[in-house]
Amino acid sequence: MSLDRADVAKIAHLARLAVDGDEADAVARDLSRILDLVAQMSVVNTGGVPPMAHPLDMPQRLRPDVVTEPDRRDDLQATAPATEAGLYLVPRVIE
């Protein structure tokens, strides 16, 4: 499986990860090599094998729908890059 610069640009956009023009070729080469490794999976016929998403066969646990956490907004926002009046700041999205 060989990826080119255009493939990398598309995947990088989906991942919201800027990839510079001058690193795109090296990234395409590395990703292609990893996909070659992964392609070894195709030697096994897995028809009818149930997929395993998780090591333990357990259902998702449920709990009563009640508040269990105290309000720690100030603590949690202390580590944020930019906040104001308890809100997270981002570049303007609505003109």
Partner 1 sequence: MSLPLHERSLGQLAAGLRAREFSSRELATHYLGRIARLDPGLNSLVTTCAEDALAAADAADARLARGDGGPLTGLPLIHKDIFCTQGVRTSCGSRMLDTFVAPYDATVVARLKAAGTVMLGKANMDEFAMGSSNETSWYGPVRNPWDPDRVPGGSSGGSAAAVAARLAPVATGTDTGGSIRQPAALCGLTGIKPTYGRVSRWGMIAFASSLDQGGPLARSAQDAALVLQAVAGYDPHDSTSVDAPVPEYAATLDDGIAGLRVGLPKEYFGEGLDPKVRHSVETAIAELRRLGAQTVEISLANTALAVPTYYVVAPAECSSNLARYDGVRYGHRCADPKDLSDLYERSRAEGFGAEVKRRILIGTYVLSAGYYDAYYLKAQQLRQLISEDFRRAFAEVDVIAGPTSPTTAFRLGEKAGDPVTMYLSDIYTIAANLAGLPAMSLPAEPVGGLPVGLQLMGNYFAEARLLNVAHRLQEATDWHRRVPPGCE
Q: Note the residues at the interface with partner 1 (CB under 8 A).
A: 3, 8, 11-12, 14-20, 27, 30-31, 33-44, 46, 49-56, 58, 60-61, 63, 72, 75-76, 78-82, 88, 90-93
- Asked if 88 contacts 77 with a C-beta cutoff of 8 angstroms, the reply is yes
Work out how close the CB of 67 gets to partner 1 at its nearest, in angstroms, rounded to a whole number: 15
Strand spans (E) along the chain: 83-84, 87-88
* Residue in this structure with the two tokens 């105290």, named with its chain if needed: 70
Cα separation values, 34 from 28, 80, 81, 89, Å: 10, 35, 35, 38
Query: Residue 37 CB, nearest distance to partner 1 (Å)?
Result: 5
Q: Which is nearer to partner 1, 61 or 65 (CB)?
A: 61
- What's the min distance (Å) between Cβ of 60 and partner 1? 6
CA distance 44 to 37: 14
Question: Of 46 and 65, which CB lies nearer to partner 1 in the complex structure?
Answer: 46
- Provide, rounded to whole angstroms, the least separation between the CB of residue 25 and partner 1: 14
